[in-house]
């Protein structure tokens, strides 16, 4: 699996990380659905704290984009400056998002309740805004692993060794295209989500 996640071809990395993320999501979804109460994780997403109930589409859209493109995606890229042995650290926040989203789906903990705890299935997962967002995070993480500059011997180590300089850090054209595609997906997801929030608020 490590060979696929760090493969030289970005398409292989994207598909491998995406497949792993979907598996993690479905496992977390099953756990949330079977063992946690309804709305157990409601209001834990930080983006929701900054969207007042009377906000318009533009304000809501920009707020979501600040979180999705600036904070979440930015964290992934910064984390990819580091590797533990040969594993990019940017993969960790991506898998965390997949698992957290699974728990949300299993407990119906969304700000706008779906009114039902959906049973775990790809049919319920794929059309969702969260699926689009986290797939975009996955593309960004897989496309930016070659930005690494530091390496740690283990996840528990507090010491990082610098192994490359800024002049060595660059993305291939296919990796840049993958990141640009991910950002476009985040804009699409943010627009859909902002419309849903504003319509529900009114």
> From first to last of its 202 residues, what are the pLDDT tens digits of the chain?
889 999 999 999 999 999 999 999 999 999 999 999 998 888 776 544 455 556 678 888 898 999 999 999 999 999 999 999 889 999 999 999 999 999 999 999 887 777 778 889 998 898 889 999 999 999 999 999 999 999 988 777 777 888 888 888 889 999 999 999 999 999 999 999 888 887 776 6
Q: What is the DSSP string of 39-81?
A: TTTTT--GGGGG--TT--HHHHHHHHHIIIIIIIHHHHHHHTT
Instruction: Provide the whole-model pTM.
Output: 0.91
**Residue indicated by tokens 């910064």:** 78
What end-to-end distance do the CA atoms of the chain give, in Å? 47
* Three-state SS at 82: strand
Rounded-to-integer distance, Cα 63 and Cα 66, Å: 5
Residue-range domain boundaries for the chain: 2-201
């Amino acid at each position: 699996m490590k060979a696929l996640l760090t493969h030289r071809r970005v398409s292989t990395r994207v598909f491998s990380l995406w497949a792993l993320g979907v598996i993690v999501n479905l496992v977390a979804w099953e756990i949330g659905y079977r063992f946690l109460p309804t709305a157990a994780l409601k209001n834990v997403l930080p983006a929701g704290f900054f969207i007042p109930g009377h906000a318009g589409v533009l304000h809501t859209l920009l707020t979501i984009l600040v979180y999705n493109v600036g904070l979440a995606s930015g964290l992934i890229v910064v984390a990819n400056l580091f590797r533990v042995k040969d594993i990019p650290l940017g993969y960790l926040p991506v898998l965390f998002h997949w698992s957290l989203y699974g728990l949300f789906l299993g407990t119906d903990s969304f700000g706008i309740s779906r009114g039902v705890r959906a049973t775990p299935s790809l049919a319920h997962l794929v059309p969702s805004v969260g699926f689009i967002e986290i797939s975009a995070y996955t593309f960004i993480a897989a496309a930016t692993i070659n930005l690494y500059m530091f390496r740690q011997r283990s996840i528990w180590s507090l010491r990082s060794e610098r192994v490359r300089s800024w002049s060595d850090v660059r993305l291939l054209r296919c990796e840049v295209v993958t990141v640009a595609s991910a950002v476009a997906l985040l804009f699409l997801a943010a627009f859909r989500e902002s419309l849903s929030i504003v319509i529900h608020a009114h």
